[in-house]
Structure 1
Amino acid sequence: MTAISHISTPLLDIAYEEAGPRSGRPVILLHGWPDDARTWDRVLPSLHGAGLRTFSPYLRGFGPTRFRSAATPRSGQLTALAQDALDLATALGLGKFVILGHDWGARAAYIATAIAPERISHCVSLSVGWGTNHSDQALSLRQARNYWYHWFMALERGAEAFRRDGEGFARLMWDSWGPQGWYSQAEFAATARSFANPDWTQIVLHSYRHRWGNAEGDPAYDPLEIRVRSAPVIQVPTLVIHGAVDGSNDQAMSAGREGVFSGPYRRFVLDGVGHFPSREVPEPVAKAVIEFLEHHR
């Protein structure tokens, strides 16, 4: 495992892993929930071999990342995650960079790209479609069923169940979102350590409650919330990779969304793959990313 570095942003002490050629094109990789930076482990060697320099942070509320002040609201808003990513890039002194995200990280990547296209050269999203963040979106019955945990966590009974056994809750998600037997117990345990962050439970509950209008947001992000509510068109080259048997975000959620991208756009659906493509089939994921970046320089 790569050594963990730390860097301060206005709100966070962000823990991150940096690797690859020092002169390489910078890529920020944002993990999702329930996950951490380990999600990229089997993708990174290929990215580094292609000359990419990678920065893999632990999101707010995960692993060694910490809030700098006890007074900062423990918001799990997607706009907050996007701003954290931009703040990280600023702190690292990066110029234009590639942003690659999965799940929560994919939603944050889209938002960061939409609000700061001048800073991001390419956007790569795993398992999420753009324009699927707002609380009044129409959901198919299949997707409403997939999101049962959203609705459960909106209830106090569900929140209490999550507080009581967050790790068990997370394991159930892993079991439900991909083909049977797709992960090892050692792999889950290595990531579950990040769920011991003292803010993890609060961040997770707030994120899902806020997403559907069941919790107030941090007013600091109100301007960003207004900007992204209409799913502004993304201008930079964008690649979407989605598993055909994703048990969280059905692959239909990223289909037919070409109209919200004005730059080059490509979507891959991976047969037999669930919600965690970078873990399940790292080689096809890395190959798709590298080829897309090379083709759209």
Structure 2
Amino acid sequence: MDDVRAGTVTANGVEFGYLEAGPDGGPLALCLHGFPDSARTWRHLLPELADAGYHAVAPFMRGYAPTAVPDDGAYQTGALVADAVALHEAFGGGSDAVLVGHDWGAFATYGAVAHAPERWRRAVTLAVPPMASMMSSFFQYEQLKRSFYIFLFQTPLAEAAVNGAFVAGLWRDWSPGYDATDDVAHVMDCLAEPANLAAALGYYRAMFDPSRHVDRYAAQQEAVSAPAGRPLLYLHGADDGCLGADAFAPGGDVSAVLAHLPPGSRAELVPGTGHFLHLERPAEVNRLILDWLAAAQG
């Protein structure tokens, strides 16, 4: 992390903390994290993007300290899409910008490239397939068991349940064999205050409760399930314990995922990795990402 710098910027009315690497004048590479995680999840990718000439930026998502808890109280996915577009503007991104999203960041990426395709040249998503692909398999019994936490988070019990041990358990289940000790510590720093934890849970509560939606994000919300406007690389850990590859890519067949991606897209299972595949095999995953981004240049 020696070449990674920290800063703050205001976008969409929210003060974002972020990590960055690379030249300010390079094409913007915006990297969005998920739950339970932080911007530090991109610590292996940011320097490599910088070496490739990108201005690589990884914000802490809305409500994750040091980013502020948003005044509008919005945690629907449409708000995350609006944040991505506003961050593109705040960092002076052009049409050559690229977007990389993991978990909740993947949802935001799908929405951003559908809502404002002119802002992004290419995009990468990890660990969460397109909405249509995911929902077709979400209600399978084995997947419902894996998704217990989503239902827990709809209840008032969640605030008492989500502590360091709980988060460590999720990482252990989702990426078996990976030592997440440092990652969990950083997550808990981001969620140390009750308002920050409530914000992270708010992402899940807004999934099933439209009364939590803010009207001004309606167009962005619709974009999340709309066809993406740019080619996408989709990567998924073959041993993901959060969203099982067996549910939407049985036998390793990713054709059902590709059916919901734009022409020219690619989907790939990464063997020997779980939900946090970019941390488990950073050299392999970074190479897949950088090769995909480079292939569209020139």
TM-score computed with the length of structure 1 as normaliser: 0.88
1:195 matched to 2:194? The reply is no
Q: 1:240 to 1:194 in 2, by over 3 A?
A: same
CA distance in 1, matches of 2:12, 2:212: 22
Q: How many equivalent residue pairs?
A: 288
Once the two structures are overlaid, the 10-residue window that deviates more, 147-156 or 126-135, is 126-135
Letter in 2 for 1:239: L
**Residues 187-246 of structure 1 deviation map (CA, whole Å, 9 limit, x = unaligned):** 432343112255322222222122134763223323333444xx2221312101100111
Secondary structure in structure 1 of the residue aligned to 2:243: coil
Q: Cα offset for 1:184?
A: 4.4
Q: 1:58 to 1:28 in 2, by over 3 A?
A: same
**Over aligned residues, Cα RMSD in angstroms?**
2.3
Secondary structure in structure 1 of the residue aligned to 2:191: helix
Q: Name the residue aligned to 1:3.
A: 5
Q: Name the residue aligned to 2:276.
A: 276
**Residues 130-161 of structure 1 deviation map (CA, whole Å, 9 limit, x = unaligned):** 125998975211111110001112233x3243
Unaligned runs of 5+ in 1: none
Correspondence 1:185-264 to 2 at 5 A: 185-197=181-193, 199-213=195-209, 216-228=212-224, 231-251=225-245, 252-253=247-248, 255=254, 256-264=256-264
CA distance in 2, matches of 1:212, 1:10: 24
Q: Cα offset for 1:175?
A: 1.4
1:178 matched to 2:175? The reply is yes
**Residues 2-26 of structure 1 deviation map (CA, whole Å, 9 limit, x = unaligned):** 3321111232011112211344321
Q: Cα offset for 1:57?
A: 0.4
Q: 1:187 to 1:138 in 2, by over 3 A?
A: closer
CA contact (8 A) 1:232 1:260 kept: no
Letter in 2 for 1:111: G
Letter in 2 for 1:59: M
CA distance in 1, matches of 2:194, 2:138: 34
CA distance in 2, matches of 1:171, 1:218: 32
**Residues 22-73 of structure 1 deviation map (CA, whole Å, 9 limit, x = unaligned):** 443210000111000111112223222222220110001112111464xx22
TM-score computed with the length of structure 2 as normaliser: 0.88
Secondary structure in structure 2 of the residue aligned to 1:56: strand
Instruction: Give the counterpart of 2:22 among 20, 23, 32.
Output: 20
Q: Cα offset for 1:80?
A: 0.8
Unaligned runs of 5+ in 2: none
Letter in 1 for 2:78: T
1:30 matched to 2:24? The reply is no
